[in-house]
């Protein structure tokens, strides 16, 4: 359903198709929120809802999606904190939440061996605050990591030898570190 000029909200009935493996709503004019019922779609490997007009917060129910490999929510109007429950998405490889109005701190659970497959993490262009989690270097496969254009403060945590082995791009500019 990508690039189809779809308008309106995502109907609640949509979330009753428990066999869905890929949802691609990218680049439409969808509005409203993503239902907590998204957590019932446990077979999902891909959920792309970027480049829409979605509002409200990111449902904590995404944490139920342990098979989810790709989550794209960028370029919407999502607000509120990044749910701590996202640390349960053990298959996630690509997580893109940039260019929203997300607030609060970055959960430490996004880093480390619980999300050992995470390769790409885009959190740039939000309103995130606070210091980077101390375990930021613990993501064993992180390749691209964008945090620029937030309101983060503090100092960069010490990166130990053997951490960030695959890091290719790390954008930290326009921050208060």
Q: What is the pLDDT of residues 65-97, one digit of tens each?
A: 999 999 999 999 999 999 999 999 999 999 999
- Residues 156 and 17: their CA atoms lie apart, in Å, by 44
pLDDT score at 173: 66
State the pTM of this model: 0.91
Give one word for 62, left, alpha or beta, with left for phi > 0 and alpha for psi -120 to 50: alpha
Query: Which residue ranges in the chain fall short of pLDDT 50?
Result: none
Q: Which residues contact 14 (CB under 8 A, 6 or more apart)?
A: none
Burial class (CB in 10 A: 0-12, 13-18, 19+), 4: exposed
Residue 61: inside a domain: yes
Residue 39: inside a domain: yes
Residue 176: inside a domain: no
Answer whether 91's CB lies under 8 Å from 63's CB.
Answer: no
**Total of domains in the chain:** 1
pLDDT score at 88: 95
Residue 96: inside a domain: yes
Residue 177: inside a domain: no
* CATH code at position 107: 3.80.10.10
Range of the domain at 154: 7-171
H/E segment holding residue 144: strand 144-146
Residue 2: inside a domain: no
Residue 146: inside a domain: yes
pLDDT score at 172: 73
Residue 56: inside a domain: yes
Give the pairing of strands 151-152 and 127-130. Answer: parallel
pLDDT score at 151: 92
Answer whether 65's CB lies under 8 Å from 43's CB.
Answer: no
- Residues 172 and 21: their CA atoms lie apart, in Å, by 34
């Amino acid at each position: 359903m990508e690039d189809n000029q779809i308008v309106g909200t995502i109907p609640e009935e949509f979330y009753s198709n428990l066999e869905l493996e890929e949802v691609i709503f990218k680049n439409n004019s969808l509005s409203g929120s993503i239902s907590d019922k998204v957590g019932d779609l446990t077979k999902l490997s891909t959920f792309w809802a970027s480049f829409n007009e979605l509002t409200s917060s990111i449902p904590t129910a995404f944490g139920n999606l342990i098979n989810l490999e790709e989550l794209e929510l960028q370029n919407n109007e999502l607000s509120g904190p990044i749910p701590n429950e996202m640390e349960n998405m053990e298959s996630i490889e690509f997580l893109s939440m940039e260019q929203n109005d997300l607030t609060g701190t970055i959960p430490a659970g996004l880093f480390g061996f619980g999300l050992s497959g995470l390769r790409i993490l885009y959190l740039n262009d939000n309103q995130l605050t606070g210091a980077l989690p101390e375990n930021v270097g613990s993501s064993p496969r992180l390749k691209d990591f964008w945090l620029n254009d937030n309101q983060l403060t503090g100092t960069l945590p010490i990166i130990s030898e053997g951490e960030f082995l695959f890091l290719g791009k790390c954008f930290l500019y326009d921050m208060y570190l």
